[in-house]
Structures are given as structure tokens and as C-alpha cells.
Chain A
């Protein structure tokens, strides 16, 4: 096995693919991406990485046929059986170890102390919460009292107001009714007299008004025919 050998490919006729390449990777850093750096200095020999993909096959290896190790069938079967049994038992052993670790984590001292501390903390917090709730309850009660008083007062005031309004309304109704009663309604007794009066005094609604306040009665009245002195002044009744 060659240690610390850097291969140099000599210039072939026309072929100068690789003049010099190092196939040994340096330990302590990855070949592809330098993530993992060993902080402890290591002076071990360089590790074989792999032959570059474009490089040709070595002359000594072109016609090599590797001897394939042919095992008899029973041996293969025996090997398979051994490995299957081993894998089965390893799986179950790993599972068992895992469960044991869980149990230990639950029952161990660390877990117990943790549980105890957590319970204490919980109690403290519950107590704190209770006190806080009480405080806020007191405040809330006071506020509610004040609010209740206010609402009571408001309601009283509104009730009084409504009463006053109702009285006013009544008075107004009475006034209106009396006024209505005063107007001369035509009853059954007065009907004949009313008819005769109406017939005797016909009302003429045809008139015109002036901006100066003069009234001109009659449908066919012409303004020019009436002199200025005899104009009728509109009076408010």
C-alpha cells in the first residue's frame, strides 16, 4: 500500500488531462464541504478518497478479472439465517433499552425532584391567582354598586320627566278640545237656519292679491277700472 504518494501523470502524446492530482484527502476536514474541522491536531496519514472520475484505468488493471468468491448454497443459507436471527434480536434489544431508558427517566431521582418542584410551583401560582381574583372581585363589586346607583337615578329622572310630559300632553289635549267645542258646529237643530244663511250669503273665493297689500275681488275684475283711492286694503281677521 502506498503511503503519501502523489501520482503524476506524464504527458502523453497530445493528452494532457492530469498533470498532477492528489488522491489522498487530508484528514480533519471533509473533501466536499469544510464543515467539520478537528481542533485537535492530527498527524495521521492521509486517507484515500477516490480516483477522479475522468481519469483513465491504470494499465495494470485493464485486463484484470477479479475472482468472484462463490459460496455454496448451504453456506449462504446459513449466513442468511444467522444474520436474520441477529438482526431480529438486535431490534428487540434496542427496543428494550429504549423502554428501560423511558422508565428510568420517569422514576429516576431527577424526574422525581422535577415533579416535586413543579407541584410546588403549581400550588404557589394557584394561591397567587386566587388572591388576584379576590382583589379584582372587590374592585368589580364597588364599580357595580356605583353603576347601580347611577342607573337608579337615571331611571327615576326619566320617570319624572315622562310624568311631566304626560301632564303637559293632557293639558294640551284639553285646550284643543275646548277650542274645537267653541267652533260653531252645525247641529241637527241649526241645520235649516244654516242652509238659509248659506244661501243668503254666498262666498266668492275669486280674488287676487297685490304685493302692496291690496285685494281685488271678483273673477272678472280688471285692475285698471278701479281708481287708487277705492282699492280695498287686505285686513287680517
Chain B
């Protein structure tokens, strides 16, 4: 025993020898008192600061009092002339990040150092001061900072520029005033000063496209002294390319020659940055790609792992969009499969999967299986994605690929990884009919031992949709019912729903399902019991083998075509009375989402298809407004309100926009008017509408606006009658008529007498899209199938030459005014064809689904195939008419 102890001691001493052995915060804080000695021992002070820094670095924290004490003691050290000690003082001040009232203590010392003759002091004092300073202090030292930016010592200039970059986040208005000095520093002969100046100048100007473009133009012609600055310039140049290509499709890409030239730079960092920039160009052509791919290919056989990794990661991305361009590198990629670095090997294999041919699949799969357990989850997801696209490319290989997926599904892994696998299997089941049965069984086995509630419920839902359509639905029941016995309440509830779906769809299974559902009536969770009760009652509780009625099926399993947010608002507004809540009163309009939300939602497309959440609508507000006007109260239920359309130019005397409200038999124009002249008061404001170009419309009512004072928006309305249920279109010319009265700006009082005047507005239009509600469906494929081919109308159209495919898609989507589904409105860059799925509700509450297939040829000639399904033949035809006209 004693021996053991001794041994341990020995080893500890040997391994743990450190100058900081047994260091304690309390003792070090005691030591810090030497800072207060009248005769400073600078060596000892340095040691104590190092110890303090060591403690902070190890994650030790100081209390507020301790930190303040140390800080005050440290400020005394400015008396010492010792350069080394001063540097340590700078370091600890930055680490202690003093509060603003403490900062004042050191400000004068630091400002003195900023103007010192010693360059080291100047540079460091600037960095420290800018780190701890706030806005008010900054204005005091601004003058010195501007000087420092153009200081002839590069270290000082860099310190000021880098501090500027940090300060731009907190005090942009001050830093922006330095642009002349920064501009001068960009021309500096010192390599890194130029780099820092360029970074700061770009950040100051980043919102000014023209300035950025000029900056890039001048520097690409001038001298760039450091590889880092060259990398920055490449980034800025590609930004300019990206922004200019939006306006200008034709001709040569600006700065491409510059990027290509950088491929021959002597620094690898620059070569790589340029190659990567080229591969990321929007709509890059294979001719543009070739030189970049060539240098990346050379990097693949480099002895440096970092270079190999960088190259293979970039090529891997290129392989997703331009597999053909990467095939030249396949031989080099093959040799990377056995790379020591697993990340490189994974990226090489996944690139090969994307570019390889069918015969190589099995061999690659074998190699992947060997090292799947060695790599991180992020890379496993990369592999899974590659496998999925491979399987879609070579459907005949589904068996080995599906096997692979099911094997890795059984192994350990985090949620994101498992989700990627499940999503892939779901997609394969959907797209490859042969893979359905085996895929479903793999999923069933997975939920037998799945720790993620989210995945279990998603799979159960999917089973309920796909399971009943298989040849032997009964074999899935066991797996589903096991969930009811073994899992948590959420999973149990969704298992009950799935069981009910089997019961509803497969009549022969009904009696057995009913027995299982009845057992769920005694579950200890409310939701599970409620669901079981609901299903038992609606499906006909006697359990006989009968066909389930169609409307019951629709009620239970049809998709909810109302945006959930709208339903939520309506339910919140509903007050419990005698009258039941009517779901048909919930507005169906999907309001377009704010851009930020779209971005985050678009990041991760969900394969299992969740309907996009819609934010609250303004429909309610319009409805309330209109029903409060007696003239319009008889028009009935509001079908749709358009977005406001401006009828005046911006910055004119009177700003008017119109909102079109569509009713079954009527159309109401709501003119929102704003008077932008302080010296005027408008009275009796009306819009006189000439409907001579809109034959089917007849004016029935006008509601004038009594008074329109300065800057207070008001509304006037005009209502038209139109044939019931008919999507009549027309053009209306508008004139604003009013009595104008002068207002004395000093008193705000209007003169008694006014003058009649009128003001010409732009025309407004009622178009077919106004009769279409944007209503999304959660699963387009299911919705499409359930509508059936009875009223399907298919035709082809030539759209003529178009600027781009995505422009053509947008034009058609806007023309029809329908809701794009499943993100299909986004056209992949550079693609030659695209399909887009749209859904909506046409006036008369007729559900409409549209499938658009676009193709574009080399002369930008766009052709479109339009397939419409709806609940009404005439509506299907009407959609075609909209496009045909």
C-alpha cells in the first residue's frame, strides 16, 4: 500500500511540475500588494501579473471587489518605466475589463502613452484604450486615433485600424468620420496596414455599392502587398460580381479576369481563396470553372493535410451543382479515400458518390461502411445526404443503399444525424415505389428503440399515410401498438391516430383495430383517451367490417387547409356563446412572411413536410372596417383583400393607394389617402372612378371622406356590383376630387372658403389573381391525388424569351396569385428546367392545385406545361384562360 502511495507521489511530482503548482487565488491577491510598494520591483510585479493572468486563463473568476482592487493596484504600475512590466499591465487591464467609472482612472495614463515616443507604448495604449473605452471618451481621443491611422510606424497604424474595426460595431458614426485617413492607409507600403485599412474601409462603406465597386476596381489595378489583403480583395470583388450580375446578364463577368489571375499568385492562401470564389459565382459556366478546378486538383495531392482538406471540401460542394466538372479529379479523389485524416476521406468519398457512375456504387459503399464509426456526426450527415441523392440518381441500387441506411440507423448517433437518416429513408420511400415496403419496415424497427419523441411521432404519422396502401398493412400494426404500450404520452397519442388511420383505410382490419383502440380508452393521459374516443365514435364504434364514409375520412385525415395562425387568432377572438365556433369563418389567406422568418425557415427544408407557419393577418382588420360601413354590410362574407397598390408616385402632394376587397357579388375599392401639404385641409374627398373599360362592373355606392387634414391618413370607398361568382376583370381610371382649404400654419386654423380641385391618379385594375386566395397545402402530393384527375386540364405554352428561368417562374406565380408549395418557387441557380407547385382557393371556395413545369433552351426561350386540378371543371379552364391571355 505504502509503495503505491509513494509511486503516485513520484509521478505527480514529475508530471505536474509547474511554476504554478499549488497556486491559490487568495495568496496571489495578497501578492498583488507589491504593486503599492513605493519602490517598485518590476520583475516581481511582472511575476504577480503573470500569476493573475494564469488564474483568469484557467477560468478562475474574481469578484467585483477583488477585480476593482486589483485594477486600482495595477494602475499604480504606470509609474514604472519598465517596458516589459508595462506590457503586462496592458494585458491585465484588457483582461479585467474595468467598468466605465474605473476606466477614467487609467485614461490619462493611457493617453500619455498614446502620445509617447516609444512605438510599443503607442500601439498598445491605443488597443487597450479602444477596448475599454465608451462613446464619450472616444470623442476625446478621436484626434489621436486619426493621427495614429496614418502613423509611419506600421504597428501603430495597424493598432488604430484594428481598433477602428471593433469600434465600428459600437460607435459607427464616429469611426465613419475617419474614412479619409483610412483611405490613405490603404495606400500604405506596410503589408498588414494595407490589410487592416482595407478591411475597415470596406466595413465603413459596405452599404454603398458604388463605393465598394470603385474600391475594388482601383485596388485590382494597383498593388496589393499582403496575401491577407489579397484574400479580402477577392471577397469584395466577388461581392461586386454577385451584386452586378443581378442587373446585367449579358457579356463578360466583371473581375473574372482578376480572380483568374489570382489563381497564379504565389501564396496558396490567395490561390485557394480565388478558386473558391470562382466556384461560388452565381451561374458559373464550366469554362469559368476549369482553371479553378485545375488548381484545386493540384492541391489534392499536396503533402499538407490542410490544403487537401480545403481543396476536397470545395470540390465536394462543386460536385453538388457541377458533377461533370469534378470528374477529372476522380483519380486523385480515389487515392484520398485512404487518407489518414478521416474528414478528408469522407469528403473524397461523398464527392465520388456524386460524380461516380452506377458500377462504382457497391465498391464505394463497402469503403464507407468501414469508417463510418470513426467520423463525427457532422460528416455522417454529409455521407447520408450523398447516399440519398445517389439513390435518387440510381434507383436500381436502392437495395444496397437502403440497407446501408438501415444499418447506420441502428448505430449510435445524435438527433440531427438520425433525423437526416430518417428523412432520407422517407424520401426514398416516396420516390422509389419498390423501396416502400422495406423502407417502412426499417422505420418500424427503428421506432421500436428510438429515444427521440419527435422522430417517433413523425414516423408514426408517415406510417399512417403510407402503411395502409401497402400489400399487407396488418404487419405494421404490431409495431404501432407496441408504441401504445411502451412509450410516453406524445408518442402514444400519435400511435393511436396511426392505428385509427389503418382502421379507416383498411376495412378488413377494422374489428381488430377497434379492440386495440378500446384498450386505449383507459390510458392515463387525456390526449390519448380523447383521441381514442374520437376515433372510435367517428369510425362507427360497433366494429363491423364496413366501408368508412368519405367525409369521415376527410374530417379525420384530410389536411387542414387553414393556416394555423389564423385559426389561433379566430379561436382567441371567439367568445363562448350559444353559437358554436364555425371553422369556415376562419380566413384562409396566407400572408406573406417577413423576409427574416423566411430565411430561417428556408435553411432547413423538412422532408416530412410541415406546413409553413403564417403570421397574423390584416384580413380581420379589413373585415371589421368594412362591416362597420352600413352601405357595405349587405355584401356578405369578404373573400379576399389585396395588398395596397400605390396610385401615386412617392413624394407627391397627395399619397393614395388602393386596397381591393372582393366579395361574391361586389368589389369595394378602399382608397387610403394621405395629405402631405401642411398648409392644406381637404374636405369632401372622393375618388371618381370611370369604369368604362370594365364592362361587367356597375357602381353602386360611394363613401366620401369628410376631411383630410395634413399627415392624417383617411379612407374613401367606392363599391361596384358585378355578376355573382364570375371572375370579371377590368380597368378603372381614378380621379381624386376634393375641396381644398388654406390652413394658416401658425394657428392651424383653416379658411372658411375652399376651392374645388381634382388630382389625377393612376389606373387600378381587377385581374384574375384577385379572385384567387393564397392557401397552402401541407402535402402537395397527397392533395393532388385526392383531387383526382376528373377536372384536370393540361396544356403547354411558350413564354417567349425571358431574362431567366426564375424570372419566368415568378411572373407566372404572380399572374396566378397562388401560394407556392414546398419551396418550389425557388429556382436552383443555373438549372435548365424547373417544376413549381401552387395551390389556392378560387372565388366560390373552389380548391385549385397547379403543377407548372418549365424548361429553357439556350436562347432563353421558356416553355411551360401547366397542369391544373380543381373541384370544378370551369375553374380549371379559367386558370388556363388566365395564362392564355
Asked if A pairs with B, the answer is no
- Residues of chain B having any CB pair with chain A under 8 Å: none
- Residues of chain A having any CB pair with chain B under 8 Å: none
